[in-house]
Structure 1
Amino acid sequence: MTVLNGNGNGFASNLYSRRLDVLRNKRGFICDMDGVIYRGGRLIPGAKEFVNWLQKERKEFIFLTNNSAQSPKTLRLKLLRLGLDIDERHFYTAGQATAKFLSIQKPGARCYVIGEKPFFDIMEKHGLVLTDQNPDYVVMGEGASLTFANVSVATQLVLEGARLIGTNPDTNCPAQGGTTIPAVGAMISVVEIATGKKAFMCGKPHSLTMDVLGGININVDSALVLTGSTTAKAEIENYAFQPFIVLEGVKDIAPQTNGVLIQ
């Protein structure tokens, strides 16, 4: 099993080749999406060939995303529009991880949720009650629904005893046109500072999901691609942990001969 993530160290050429062979022989792949398969509304070069290779070689694979504004259905439809036909069972979101975690912690829990409709639907599907009246949890997810008004409500509810939950710790994420936008980690910090309470995060790299760091923590080989938030190998030298291999993109994984994909 290997983890692919779009968040950078170079290896000597022969070591790189050996590790790339190891990667290609893995039976299963856990892949990030934003910055790995697509960026904004466009496929990243080589993504289609990579998915075709996974399917042709009958690899086990699942796409993980910290974007709780999406559901497996909406992700399938998005990739279908981009030319990739992938069944819903291959997708898992931080929204799903959050809903499952809360339903196990406290079945039927009352939750004040900030996020998008797909996340609301997932929470309700797990038997959680969405309310602003005496909630057990304040849950903040991804999306454009964040306002001063609902952050103020969230702050007061946390001060009154609700526990603060974030779908993921990302402070920013890649968007269309090469831009970067704030993510849950940045937004939830407002409530943390205002209340003095620390949020529990359910998305990558925490053990409820995973990324490069999560892979290292459980001894799963991790591959970092430079098409996401990390765009240069030098950037990862700032970290004590290093991925198993660094790739320019998923285009490097599907075997090629003279630039032609082996079908």
Structure 2
Amino acid sequence: MDRPQIECWLTDMDGVLVQENQALPGAAELLAQWRRKDVPYLVLTNNSIYTARDLSARLRHSGLTVPEDRIWTSAMATADFLSNQVESGTAFVVGEVGLTTAIHEAGFIMTETDPEFVVVGETHTYSFESITKAIRLINNGARFIVTNPDATGPSPEGVLPATGSIAALITKATGREPYVVGKPNPMMFRSALNRIGAHSMTTAMIGDRMDTDIVAGMEAGMHTVLVLSGISDHAEVLKYPFRPNEIISGVHELLDVPLADMESGDPDTAGIA
């Protein structure tokens, strides 16, 4: 599949559109290009802490206009998955407002009493009490679901333990492996495609990680574009037995008009759709 055949786009957020809350070169212009052409797209993130409205506001502060209905989080994908498993189910949730809001909006009741599911997501306030409850409920038969597999997350002071680390602790205590909804599970991408009515054969995925964005995009049957503006470089690509369809330095290379021409106001190219 060649890029001209692409009708819809999925894109990762961190390392692709933003880096440390600063918009990356070409990100604002690419989003504007998609809006101008009425191209269906979604911005994806494995972060389950924030609601789509929160993330839209954070991106706006970085200079990027992304409406909340164009954001798809691992929390939203998890809620979508759960709603397809049972109707109006029950869950014990370890996570922040992004996850609890999504599960509530999917029609679930959150309870500590004999829930059908234990759902673990990202939070900066993991407690021994909540983890103990999760372990006991799973031992009593609740199904174990995790929003994403990331073992660590970034902070100004260094790495933080993330969802995958807590899930590993619970697995060690229960002997039960969770079902992980977020990247690199292509389930998250398929639910995103359904959200915008897209088909994998005419959709591209932009990401900065070979082990999540690219492998999941490939397994979902999409055209994959690796940007080198985030965590990966050419040496990283060589570590994997698969390859993205394209490798570019950043999203500015996806613009119809070169970023330099936009910034210079070249009358022969500026504003071309």
TM-score (normalised: structure 2):
0.80
Aligned residues: 241
CA distance in structure 1 between the partners assigned to 2:161 and 2:28 by the alignment: 28
3-state SS of paired residue (1:85) = coil
Which of the pair has the greater relative contact order for Cα pairs under 8 Å at 6+ separation? Answer: 1
1:43 equivalent in structure 2? 23
Deviation at 1:56, TM superposition (A): 2.7
1:140 equivalent in structure 2? 120
Deviation at 1:128, TM superposition (A): 0.7
CA distance in structure 1 between the partners assigned to 2:114 and 2:97 by the alignment: 21
Deviation at 1:181, TM superposition (A): 3.5
Q: Is the 8 A contact 1:170 1:185 kept in 2?
A: yes
2:235 equivalent in structure 1? 234
Q: Does 2:166 align with 1:195?
A: no
Instruction: Give the stretch that moved more between structures: 245-254 or 89-98.
Output: 245-254
3-state SS of paired residue (1:243) = coil
Instruction: Give the stretch that moved more between structures: 196-205 or 244-253.
Output: 244-253
Q: 1:181 to 1:244 in 2, by over 3 A?
A: farther
Q: 1:127 to 1:257 in 2, by over 3 A?
A: closer
CA distance in structure 2 between the partners assigned to 1:259 and 1:25 by the alignment: 26
CA distance in structure 2 between the partners assigned to 1:174 and 1:148 by the alignment: 22
Structure 1: runs of 5+ lacking an equivalent = 2-21
3-state SS of paired residue (2:72) = strand
3-state SS of paired residue (1:62) = strand
Deviation at 1:25, TM superposition (A): 5.9
3-state SS of paired residue (1:144) = coil
CA distance in structure 1 between the partners assigned to 2:235 and 2:46 by the alignment: 25
Deviation at 1:200, TM superposition (A): 0.1
Per-residue Cα deviation, 1:123-146 (whole angstroms, up to 9, x for no partner): 111111111111111101112121
Q: 1:258 to 1:228 in 2, by over 3 A?
A: closer
Q: Is the 8 A contact 1:94 1:167 kept in 2?
A: yes
Identity %: 30
Q: Is the 8 A contact 1:173 1:229 kept in 2?
A: no
Q: Is the 8 A contact 2:51 2:97 kept in 1?
A: no
Q: 1:52 to 1:119 in 2, by over 3 A?
A: same
- After TM superposition, what 4+ stretches of structure 1 lie above 6 angstroms from structure 2? none
CA distance in structure 1 between the partners assigned to 2:98 and 2:221 by the alignment: 33
3-state SS of paired residue (1:208) = helix
Deviation at 1:176, TM superposition (A): 5.7
CA distance in structure 1 between the partners assigned to 2:245 and 2:14 by the alignment: 20
TM-score (normalised: structure 1):
0.83
Q: 1:158 to 1:243 in 2, by over 3 A?
A: same
Q: 1:172 to 1:36 in 2, by over 3 A?
A: farther
Q: 1:222 to 1:87 in 2, by over 3 A?
A: same
